[in-house]
Amino acid sequence: MLKPGMKRFALVAGVAAGVLAVASASFAKDREVKVFNWSDYIDESILADFTKETGIKVTYDVFDSNEVLETKLLAGKTGYDIVVPTGAFLSRQIKAGVFQKLDKSKLTNIGNVWPEVAKRTDVYDPNGEHALTYMWGTTGIGYNEGKIKERMADAPVNSWDLVFKPELAAKFKDCGIFMLDSPDDILSSALRYLGIDPNTTDEAELKKGAELLKSIRGNVKKFHSSEYINALADGDICIAIGWSGDILQARDRAVEAKNGHVIKYSIPKEGAMMWFDMMAIPKDAENVAEAHEFLNYLLRPEVIAKASNYINYANGNLASKEFVSDEVKGDPAIYPDDATMNNLFVKLAYDAKTQRSVTRLWTGVVTGK
């Protein structure tokens, strides 16, 4: 039989143990991962399924330009556990020391990575030490077939001439041209059109690209990196220089709306940019274990295939092709043929001096000054 004092001690100890047990359970329930990804870039059922399976809550925020993400990363306090920069930006950010290396022992599904894609992304992140490919695509021309034909029956929709020749671009000013607010995509495409290396760091050559863009600036309605999806789908514009999957999302939205707008996408014959969006863990991530669990979940072929089927982008997981729909897999705008692939270029990161020059030139293009 316990003495009164011992009873009190036992009661207090029991309550304390109960509180600790409740607290432990609470911590287990409160596991989370904070993700910062591009807008319109995932099937949200994937997030719900991940939480249901693991108990890990997903806080999911979006951005629409690499510059927005880079500002957060270089400030040193992102507040996120996984971010998705494009390859050239990732490369520069790795050098700045803002990412931690992946713990591949926790990525049991990493064998599903597509070797050919991994080989191409090695230029940004050798041996994939810091990042995994989420999606890849091209930067090309989205257009409203009907509106283009009304204004020019033989419009060169498979050529950069459509937008980079001032006299041609002027024909479509009234129905609206949008371009990405991204010098990496637009300036490099202009340089390729001029026959200049898209990765040039020569100031005089960069200026030639900027001058070309200034010559057609008056025909461009807006520079924006996400609004063009709905603008194309709704018939508010007739041309958008944008990312392949976004254009195809616009196509699908127009079909769903039954509004009569036929949206198509072309990879210009002069060559176009091939880009890769990469998933990485910032140095300041608070939920590193959960971040690895989320990445490993996305490495499952059937999971990442669901994302590709929803957003019309090719992913970096070779094993997933079995689960990617025939409609997506068979679309040359998403999975280009070998000849087209060989005509695509990869954008490398600028050095700090060139980046400042490009930023200045791009500001002049966008503002028209």
Domain containing 146 equals: 139-274+348-367
65 and 144, same domain (yes or no): no
Instruction: Give the Cα separation of 318 and 316 in Å (integer).
Output: 6
pLDDT digits (tens, 9 = 90+) for 219-236: 999 999 999 999 999 999
268 and 279, same domain (yes or no): no
Task: Tally the residues of the chain.
Answer: 369
Residue 6 has pLDDT above 50, yes or no: no
User: Is 332 part of a structural domain of the chain?
Assistant: yes
Strand partners, 62: 37
- Provide the 3-class DSSP secondary structure of residue 315: strand
pLDDT (mean) for 176-200? 97
Strand partners, 86: 277
Mean pLDDT taken over the chain: 93
pLDDT of residue 369: 85
User: Is 82 part of a structural domain of the chain?
Assistant: yes
322 and 361, same domain (yes or no): no
133 and 147, same domain (yes or no): no
240 and 264, same domain (yes or no): yes
246 and 182, same domain (yes or no): yes
pLDDT of residue 336: 93
pLDDT (mean) for 67-93? 95
Name the pLDDT band for 77 (thresholds 50, 70, 90).
confident
pLDDT (mean) for 185-212? 98
- The residue ranking higher by pLDDT, 110 or 3, is 110
Of 7-11, 143-147, 297-301, 354-358, the range with the lowest mean pLDDT is 7-11
Name the pLDDT band for 171 (thresholds 50, 70, 90).
very high
pLDDT of residue 22: 43
User: Is 16 part of a structural domain of the chain?
Assistant: no
User: Is 240 part of a structural domain of the chain?
Assistant: yes
- DSSP letters of 201-270? --HHHHHHHHHHHHHHGGG--EE-SSTHHHHHHTTS-SEEEEEHHHHHHHHHHHHHHT-S--EEEE--TT
Q: What is the total count of domains within the chain?
A: 2
pLDDT of residue 15: 45
In terms of DSSP H, where are the helices of the chain? 4-29, 44-54, 66-75, 87-95, 115-121, 145-151, 161-164, 166-169, 183-193, 203-216, 228-233, 244-257, 288-298, 301-311, 326-329, 338-341, 352-367
301 and 362, same domain (yes or no): no
User: Is 78 part of a structural domain of the chain?
Assistant: yes
pLDDT digits (tens, 9 = 90+) for 237-293: 999 999 999 999 999 999 999 999 999 999 999 999 999 999 999 999 999 999 999
Residue 286's nearest CA partner among 84, 85, 56, 87 is 56
Residue 21 has pLDDT above 80, yes or no: no
pLDDT of residue 12: 45
128 and 154, same domain (yes or no): no
pLDDT of residue 78: 93
Instruction: Give the Cα separation of 348 and 331 in Å (integer).
Output: 27
121 and 169, same domain (yes or no): no
pLDDT digits (tens, 9 = 90+) for 26-59: 444 589 999 999 999 999 999 999 999 999 999 9
Q: Can you give the CATH number for the domain in which 39 is found?
A: 3.40.190.10
Task: Enter the pTM of the model.
Answer: 0.86
User: Is 8 part of a structural domain of the chain?
Assistant: no
Name the pLDDT band for 25 (thresholds 50, 70, 90).
very low
Structure tokens at 28: 């287990």
User: Is 235 part of a structural domain of the chain?
Assistant: yes
pLDDT of residue 29: 52
47 and 161, same domain (yes or no): no
106 and 85, same domain (yes or no): yes
User: Is 13 part of a structural domain of the chain?
Assistant: no
pLDDT (mean) for 304-326? 97
pLDDT (mean) for 101-117? 97
Instruction: Give phi and psi for 272, each to the nearest 5.
Output: -145, 170
Name the pLDDT band for 76 (thresholds 50, 70, 90).
confident
- H-run or E-run covering 294: helix 288-298
85's torsion region: left (phi>0), alpha (psi -120 to 50) or beta?
beta
178 and 99, same domain (yes or no): no
pLDDT of residue 19: 44
Residue 192's nearest CA partner among 116, 117, 268, 135 is 268
